[in-house]
Structures are given as C-alpha cells and as structure tokens.
Amino acid sequence: MNEDEPAGGPLSGDRLSRVRERGGLNDQSQQRIGLHLRALYDSVVQQPVPDRFRDLIAQLDETEPPLDGPTGANGL
C-alpha cells in the first residue's frame, strides 16, 4: 500500500493483483470462507434470545421518561 491507496479500501485492479501475487486468497478460498461464515451466522440467528436479555428489554420498555421533567443531565 502507498499514500495514494486508501487504507482498508476495496481491492481492485493492480492492488488486487499484488495481493494475489503475495499469497492472497483465491476466489475459491474466499467462497468457502464466505459459505462457512454465512452458515455460522445463520445458526446464531436461529438461537433464541436468552431469558435474561428478554427481561432487560422488558424493563427498558416499561420505563418511560417523565413528560414534564428535565430531558438531559443539565436539564436542557
């Protein structure tokens, strides 16, 4: 990377070629990783929300801010 290339930006053109030349991942490896990550994400999404989290969310939903009270730390 040099000064003209944004850090963490998308790889394209010459930059992509240089990454592959230095031992970067090929398309097949990227696809396999993507599939595994997607499967892991899907399994996490399917898990139920823990009871503790549900209780905390319910407590937050029950508390309402006062209508005529201060709205901030300084009463603004």
Neighbouring residues of 7: CB distance < 8 A, sequence distance ≥ 6: 1
What distance in Å separates the CA atoms of residue 10 and residue 12, rounded to the nearest whole number? Answer: 6
Residue 6: the pLDDT is 52
3-class secondary structure, 76: coil
Mean pLDDT across the stretch 51-73?
A: 78
| Nearest by Cα to 25 from 11, 39, 13 | 11
Residue identified by tokens 């790889």 is 11
Asked if the model's pLDDT at residue 40 lies above 90, the reply is yes
> Once rounded to an integer, what is the mean pLDDT over residues 11-31?
75
Instruction: Give me the mean pLDDT over the 63-72 stretch.
Output: 65
pTM of the model: 0.41
Give the pLDDT of residue 1. Answer: 47
User: Taking the domains of the chain in order of start, what are their residue ranges?
Assistant: 27-62
C-alpha distances in Å from residue 22, one per residue of 4, 12, 28, 73: 20, 15, 17, 54
